């Protein structure tokens, strides 16, 4: 094996390695993403929020008068001291207290964990459904395509919030509680995740279908079919990986819209029930205290805004970075 002509350590030309070795599409995408100013702002914002909802839980501690003891963690976030209800932000409760005297600061931390978990899981369900429906419709064509696309169009015909509300009523309270990472999640969390996922996959399915319709005519698909690859292998190993760009962008932006959807459904009183806090259900009924207790809606609402903003920045950066024809940021 011969020595490379120029290595980065011996070369006098800076970045000679990069000059001699062609960059992979992933390298190029990563480079475009790093140069995207909005995307880096978004990443810092999301990093800050991540620290807030994780390490912030260490600050969730205090004396719970009804139980007559000091509590930490989620127990403190759920401790309701009705003698302290609707307190304005102060030294002990920096974000104030809610209608039954729970500390809003602690609840935004634990609610944030649930909201973000709902957002990520719902986006996962969305991508799973969208990719599957789109890929199956495009790959098999014919009547499979017709039926799947008619259902997709039927669901697009109804305003998404109406679909969400119908879904929330349909599944309402039907699932048992679940233990997740040592936390008790009410069944309604799972229900909300499934509903948001099941009512948001339609656009992605159409994008994936359009992409795969052109991909399936390529020679490498004919080749793998000739080699005896199964339909599942062709779809999952060849077709879907080649539509990864819209999948990644949709998954990212899907987290943001799922967090907003959760907030809307909860705001209308159809969301996550019980003591479990989410940014959404902290807002339920808060508008009745518009004048007297604005901190009820301001803090959870602002955290939702910042999270969605951060995700949208990153999603926009990813969209530009993953577009191989984009030259703007190279």
Residues that bind another protein (CB under 8 A): 38, 150-151, 153-154, 157-159, 161-162, 165-167, 169-171, 256, 260, 263-264, 267-268, 283, 286-287, 290-291, 294, 297-298, 301-302, 304-305, 308-309, 312-313, 316
Beta carbon nearer to another protein, 100 or 161 = 161
Beta carbon nearer to another protein, 4 or 324 = 324
Helix intervals (H) in the chain = 16-20, 25-34, 37-54, 73-77, 104-140, 142-156, 160-171, 187-198, 202-215, 219-226, 231-233, 244-267, 295-322
Please tell me the distance from the alpha carbon of residue 40 to that of residue 21, in angstroms, as a whole number.
Answer: 27
CB of 321 to another protein, least distance (A): 17
CB of 280 to another protein, least distance (A): 9
Beta carbon nearer to another protein, 14 or 159 = 159
Tally of CB atoms within 10 A around 105: 21
Beta carbon nearer to another protein, 240 or 256 = 256
| 97 strand-pairing partners | 103
DSSP codes, 238-296: IIGGGGHHHHHHHHHHHHHHHHHHHHHHHHTT-S--SS---TTTTSTTGGGGTTT-THH
Judge contact between 298 and 307, C-beta under 8 A.
no
Beta carbon nearer to another protein, 58 or 158 = 158
Judge contact between 256 and 265, C-beta under 8 A.
no
Beta carbon nearer to another protein, 62 or 301 = 301
CB of 26 to another protein, least distance (A): 26
CB of 112 to another protein, least distance (A): 14
CB of 154 to another protein, least distance (A): 5
CB of 96 to another protein, least distance (A): 15
**How far are the Cα atoms of 211, 215, 232, 270, 277 from residue 239, in angstroms, in the given order?**
9, 7, 10, 38, 40
């Amino acid at each position: 094996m011969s020595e490379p002509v120029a290595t980065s350590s011996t070369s006098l030309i800076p970045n000679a390695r990069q000059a001699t070795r062609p960059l992979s599409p992933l390298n190029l995408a990563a480079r475009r993403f790093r140069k995207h100013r909005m995307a880096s702002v978004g990443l810092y914002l999301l990093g800050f929020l991540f620290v807030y909802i994780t390490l912030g839980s260490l600050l969730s501690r205090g004396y719970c008068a009804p139980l007559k003891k000091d509590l930490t963690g989620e127990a403190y976030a759920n401790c309701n001291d009705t003698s302290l209800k609707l307190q304005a932000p102060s030294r002990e409760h920096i974000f104030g207290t809610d209608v039954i005297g729970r500390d809003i600061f602690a609840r935004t931390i634990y609610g944030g964990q649930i909201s973000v978990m709902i957002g990520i899981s719902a986006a996962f369900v969305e991508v799973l459904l969208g990719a599957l429906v789109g890929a199956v419709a495009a790959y098999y064509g014919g009547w499979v395509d017709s039926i799947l696309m008619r259902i997709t169009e039927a669901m697009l015909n109804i305003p998404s919030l109406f679909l969400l509300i119908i879904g929330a009523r349909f599944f309402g309270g039907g699932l048992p509680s679940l233990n997740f990472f040592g936390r008790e999640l009410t069944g309604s969390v799972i229900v909300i995740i499934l509903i948001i996922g099941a009512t948001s996959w339609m656009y992605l399915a159409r994008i994936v279908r359009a992409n795969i319709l052109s991909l399936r005519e390529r020679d490498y698909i004919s080749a793998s079919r000739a080699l005896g690859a199964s339909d599942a292998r062709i779809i999952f190993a060849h077709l879907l990986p080649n539509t990864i760009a819209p999948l990644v962008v949709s998954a990212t932006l899907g987290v943001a819209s799922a967090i907003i959807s959760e907030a809307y459904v909860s705001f209308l009183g159809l969301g996550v029930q019980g003591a479990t806090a989410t940014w959404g259900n902290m807002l339920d009924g808060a508008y009745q205290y518009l004048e007297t207790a604005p901190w009820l809606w301001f803090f959870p609402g602002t955290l939702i805004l910042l999270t969605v903003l951060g995700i949208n920045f990153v999603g926009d950066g990813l969209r530009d970075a993953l577009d191989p024809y984009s030259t703007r940021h190279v």
